[in-house]
Amino acid sequence: MSTVKAHALALAALLAPLAFAAPAAAQAEDNEFDKSTDDVLSADQQTKDESKQGDKMPGEKDKAPEPEPPSDMFDTFEKDGQRYNFVGLRFRNLIVPQFMINLFADGGASVNVFTFGPEFSTRKDGLEIDLALSYADYSMDEFLFKGKSDGDDAYEIVSSDMKLLYFTADLLYEIPLDKEKGRFSILIGGGVGLGVVFGDLKRNQAYPRDITDIDGEDVTKWEKCPGVGFGNADPGSGNTFCDDSNDHYGGYDEPSWANGGSKPNVFPWISIPQISFRYKPMKHLQARLDTGFSISGFFIGASAGYGL
């Protein structure tokens, strides 16, 4: 073999690996490009999937919504040291019995006085104060009336359309019946107040239709005196009915204290004892039943209030 041919074969042997390596490298680069493209597309799809799922990890289940805290509207327990206020309405029936009137005078009649108005209640640590503004109707049909020491000739036929506006305050101590929930309580105490009087008190001297049947309880057995000197003499005292001891004729209207009369301008309210039963079905709602004794008579009543 010649020298030239030997050199050619040697050169071919060196270039052969390079010739095969170039296509392999190109193919590898193509594979790497294809792989990078697939990875990008896969990452984009994963991002889209995660955006649909939110922040949840793959395979993570939806969490159940947390339950809302229970409402405390039925929590009626009252804590120590905390004040509770309520506003509402009060109604009472004041019973003025005739026997109480007869302690100081003769005649009269039992009467029901209905009172109602707004009420504000506040309590803390078992001590309750009830402030009320109440309208009271003291209207009365005609009845007989005279002083305790006067004779039968002093009877007058009296009627009233007087009204009172009471400002009162009740101070009550609470005795809980169910300490754990505080729904039922007994309250014991009393009240004070003052009533402003307005309206008329009519008075007229009277004489019996039958002088032999003098009944100080039945007003239908009497007539109003039209003037002085009308009627017979009282068999007991010898005094004449329809005398000139006063001018109570023709629908006489009794003046107030301020004008020298006997009709009061103000009237006190004192109630001792007072016993109440309170029911509190909800946190912001309460009802109360009241009963007691006042200087005007017995009373029973009810009230309802909304918590502030």
Lowest mean pLDDT of 91-95, 115-119, 273-277, 295-299, name the range. 295-299
The pLDDT value recorded for residue 20 is 47
**pTM score:** 0.71
Q: Is the pLDDT at 59 greater than 90, yes or no?
A: no
- Alpha helices in 151-211, H assignment, sequence order: none
Task: Label residue 4 exposed, middle or buried (CB < 10 Å: 0-12, 13-18, 19+).
Answer: exposed
Tell me how crowded residue 288 is: count the other CB atoms within 10 A of its CB: 24
Write the CA distances from 44 to 12, 50, 237, integer angstroms.
49, 10, 122
Distance CA 227, CA 253 (A): 15
Classify each residue of 291-307 as buried b or exposed e, where b means 16 or more C-beta atoms within 10 Å of its C-beta. ebebebbebebebebee
What percent of the chain clears pLDDT 70, i.e. is strictly above it? 77
- The upper half-sphere exposure of residue 116, i.e. CA atoms within 13 Å in the direction of its Cβ, equals 5
pLDDT in tens, 142-201: 999 999 888 888 999 999 999 999 999 999 999 999 988 889 999 999 999 999 999 999
Distance CA 256, CA 196 (A): 12
The pLDDT value recorded for residue 4 is 47
The pLDDT value recorded for residue 33 is 47
Q: Is the pLDDT at 52 greater than 70, yes or no?
A: no
- The upper half-sphere exposure of residue 35, i.e. CA atoms within 13 Å in the direction of its Cβ, equals 6
Distance CA 46, CA 39 (A): 10
Q: Is the pLDDT at 19 greater than 50, yes or no?
A: no
Residues 6+ away with beta carbon under 8 Å from 134:
90, 92, 115, 116, 117, 165, 166, 168
Residue with tokens 């006489």, as numbered in its chain:
252
Distance CA 130, CA 292 (A): 15
The pLDDT value recorded for residue 231 is 72
**Phi and psi for 36 in degrees, rounded to 5?**
-65, -40
From the list 129, 126, 125, 127, the residue with the least C-alpha distance to 80 is 125
pLDDT in tens, 62-84: 566 666 555 688 888 889 999 99
Q: Is the pLDDT at 18 greater than 80, yes or no?
A: no
Distance CA 306, CA 308 (A): 7
pLDDT in tens, 193-234: 999 999 999 999 999 998 888 898 899 999 999 999 877 777
* DSSP secondary structure code for residue 257 in this structure: G
Q: Which residue has the higher pLDDT, 19 or 217?
A: 217
CA angle 95, 99, 102 (to 5 degrees): 125
Looking at every residue in the chain, the average pLDDT score rounds to 83
* Domains delineated in the chain: 84-141+158-200+251-307 (2.40.160.20)
